[in-house]
Every structure is written in structure tokens, then in C-alpha cells.
Chain A
């Protein structure tokens, strides 16, 4: 099963002829992903790593039946590229690009929600359902197919925790990096809902960090809607007061954004919060024994 992507996902890579696009297309193919098309305007009829390149998404979808997209285009062009993929109803649309202006993200997400398309990112590592499909830039070998769902705001911290889970003998159903920008498409609550409905997933890891109010929101969502066991880790307990957007941003989330506040909200919701990443596998094993 897994969530969002699996062996039937046919990936379109937008920006496939750039360095990043080319490198990660190879890595996704090596991981067993079905990368069926690339898009770079003006480079149609080329091939990259054996994958045919088209000028437009419309052509690529028509010719190859691509059903999901991953974007490596530079930030100034990300909005248009995302619009093109959303209008073609590729789903999900994963935006790896960093430094996308937040007003562009606003328009991307508004269009995606009107068209019923799930956007992941921007500024994210993507997602992987080990042994089935990788749609992202994470190192493949640290993952192993299994029954743990992971959702995270961070890139490298996710790799760290996924690797510790793999080394402990467990594996992952799907691992999703949501990205760390102020506006992102898929959120914890979306991922939790998907994992709750996924047969393969038996337990969930939620990885958070300081800033914003998403973790607090996830805590109250879990109480109401999630029956599967969840363990959390929050980075940034000793962080210096971060340069955040300040008061107005905090009003609407109703929280200070501190690690302590998030840990408290999660613990009050009955969710164990690990002090160190290395404690997570043990807590997961405990969950699975209880079942």
C-alpha cells in the first residue's frame, strides 16, 4: 500500500536537463522509480538517462501517461512550472526547489487546492515508499520497506531518524519531508490522515522543529482522529531565540513556536516525545509489541 506514491506512480521530472534534475533522475531510477518523462522547454526530443524529454507537460502526459510530478526548476520559474503540472492534474506535485518566494507559493497552493492536487513542499526533500517508489532527493540506501510512516519538516534530520529506524531492524511504509518554508502544501494533518488509512502503516513518527504552530495543531488532530500509535521528536530545545516573523505570525497560531510548547502539547495529547533521535526505534518497537 504505502501512501501518495507506489509502484504505479509514473513520474514526470520538470527541469530534467539541469544538474540537479539529471543527477536525481538517475538516483530515482536506481531506486526503482518509474521516471517516464522529463520536461524542459526548448529541449524536447532529447533524452536524459534514457528518459524522453518534452517541451510541455501536456505533451509529456499525452505521450507517457505520467501521473505525478517532481520539480527541480530554479525558484523564479517554480510558480509557472507548478501551475503547469497542477493544471495537468499530476498528483502529487513535489516541489524540491528552495528559495521560492512565499507569494508564489501562496498562488501555487491556492490553485492546487481548487484543483484537488496535493502539493508537497516547496523546499522539501520529497518522499519515498521504500522498494516501490522514490520521488525526492534522499539517499536511497538508508531506507527499508516496513510499516513505519514518517512525516517531517526537516530534511537531514529525517534521514538521521529513518536510518536509525532502519538499523534497528524496522522499516518505513512512506517517509514524507514536508519542507520548512512558512507556507507548505502537505501538512502533518494530511500525512496523519493518509497513514491512518494505510494498511501497511502500523505506527507513525512525527518529526518537528521550532517555529510556527503546526505541531500543536497535529497534537489536537491526533487526539480526535488518529488511532495508530504516534511518537514525536522536536528539534530545537536549546535553540537561540529564532528570528521569526514576530508577533502577528504567532497570534494566529496562538503559540510561541518554542520546542517546549510543542513538546507540552504533544505530551498532553498522550503522544510520547523522544529526547534523542536514538530513542525512537525503541519506542516504536514497544508500540508494535503492544499490538
Chain B
């Protein structure tokens, strides 16, 4: 069976909250973090809004040494450091350890190493000024930069891994950390993911015509998962982090427990039978969700809330159909479902971890956060699940089990199941 794994710490850097209390308040009250970006108008992007955290470099001052902060330019790394260290202290730990913590590791994901830092390197090298780059470039353009900063600051000595699976990255990193603890390879894991969407990554998506473009003058209405007037997603940035612990390890140190990570699954549809580079194949999605349920030792009927991937593209309809098929539940029997992206946009590799933090907060505090901009749900969705399952205001309700899934480019899927911790 393996060890039980509990969640003991949370940290977040989100467009609508830079710490857990602010983020909790924002998701309870439907506070949008989507804003107009004048630079995007200037760049002639179709989509001119984004979900970008109100982050200032000064906020990292108490997190890493001054010498380390000096010369740090990568924002994805910065978001990751802040979220991970906040989760670490939220779990009741001190940041500075004298010795290496051999029982604790880190799986932290990202998709693109910071292109602002890469751009600086390209500009300097092409101008024949490579000697002026200095010592801080490589550590920030390597994909594992974020894990290197986090593990170095905390002195972590177990597995240190940077994972990448497009939009499934965040849920996948959490699952990897879970498996190491479950199978006895680690006692504690710092898990999560980060993303900084700069103009170049943004431009790539804009050119694919998959971004929201009709609400540039009403940013808070621009991210509209499951809405008939949705016209694409809104890119976002940020980071989410969790501390996962072996149950006995957590109990021994008297840690507070947010909930239990019951299990999960990650797979791929193989880019066959409806799956492609950019679209999730239904068969893989259904298998992934069913495997997550089976691995967790629960049944589909135990699920009180689904935290969907639901980005506000044409894929939303299909995603709901996949959930209905996977759970074997439809109409009013379908669980409540929501999309955090309606408030913060789609933060790509960070989406899964930020949404998981939101899921844990809903589990712990017994509520379902609203879906913003869902005054006009897609009729085909209402044909298969009841409208009561698509809350547009916060619903206070006992939540015992949540399913959280994300689906990414490359036809990769990842699903997690969390439940309230019960001492039995």
C-alpha cells in the first residue's frame, strides 16, 4: 500500500494574491487578477490582458541572501522561491538549516527558462560582449534554476528534480513528490511549479489564435471558462507550492495537516484517437482520471468537487464530457466543478500547483469558489451536467474529496485526489 502522504504547508504567488491569506480571500470573493497590459497593445497582440502577480523584487528580501538577490533577474525563479519558502514556513519550519536535510527533496516544475535572462545573453553575445555576462546567467537559464535556488536555500538533500509537462507540469510535480514519499524514498517533499509568461511566450500563443481577444477593454471579463462567449484563454504567471510529508513524520513533529493526498495518475493519450500535440485525447484523459481514483482507494461518488483544467477554449466542452465519462456521473449527480482560471487566467506550468493550492484551501475551509464570467454557460455543457454544479458565487458546503486535473501540450494528463485527513 505504501505510506500515507499529507499536505502540511501551502505557498502561492498568484495574480490575485501574493500570499495564502490574500489568495484565500480572493478566491472566496471572486476577485479577478486579470489586467490590461499597455505593452501588449503596443506590440499589436490580439490579446492585451494577462494575469500577472503584483510582484516586486523587494518582496524577496527576507527570502534569500542579499548577495543572491543581487543579480537575480528570472521572475519565474523568483515566484518559485517565494511560493516554496512560504509553504516551508507555513508548515512550521525554519528557513535556515545548519546541515543538509537528507530526508527532504524537491520537485518543482517550469516550462521555459526565463527568456528575459536568455534575451540579455543573446544580445550581449551577439554584440561580442560575452565577457560582460558574468556568473549569474547560467544558473538562471537552466531549467533547473528554480529547484537549485529552492533546495540550496533550504539545504535539501533528497531528490531534486525539475519537471516539465506543459500545462500538466504542476499537478505532475505534486504527484512525483507524492510517489517518492509513498514508496519510502523521501519523508518530505517541497513540490510545485512556476511560470513567467513574457512577451515572447505570450506572442507564440497569440499567434496560435487561442487567446481571449474580445475583452481587452474589460479585463476582468476576459477569462471565461465554459462560457458560450469565451474566445480563448488569458495567459497568466505565478507559482504554487505545497509541502508533502509522510504522515508519521508529520505527526511526530506535531505539524498541522491541511489534508491527505490520496493518490493520482499521470499519462498520455499518445497523440492518437483525437489526441494531438495540442489536444488531449479523450481516452487518455478518462483513463488518467479513473486511475487516479483507483490509486486513491476512493470511488467516483466520493468526489465533492472537481477542479477542472477548463481554460476557456473550445476544449472546455470536451473536458466536461470526459469528466462525465470518467466519473460515470451526469446531470445533477455530477459534482460541483470550477475553474480558477476564471480569476487568474492560465498560468501554464504553474496552473496545476496554484489550482492545487486553491483546491486544498476549499477542502480545508469547506467552500466552492465561484466561476467568474459564467453567466452564459455553453448549452452543450448544460445538456450533460446540472447548472447547479457550476457555481457563480461562493458555495459553503462540506468538501471531503476533491479531484484536480490538468491537460497539457503533447497530450499529457495529470490528475490528483485529495481528501480531508481522517485519523483511522
Physical interaction between A and B: no
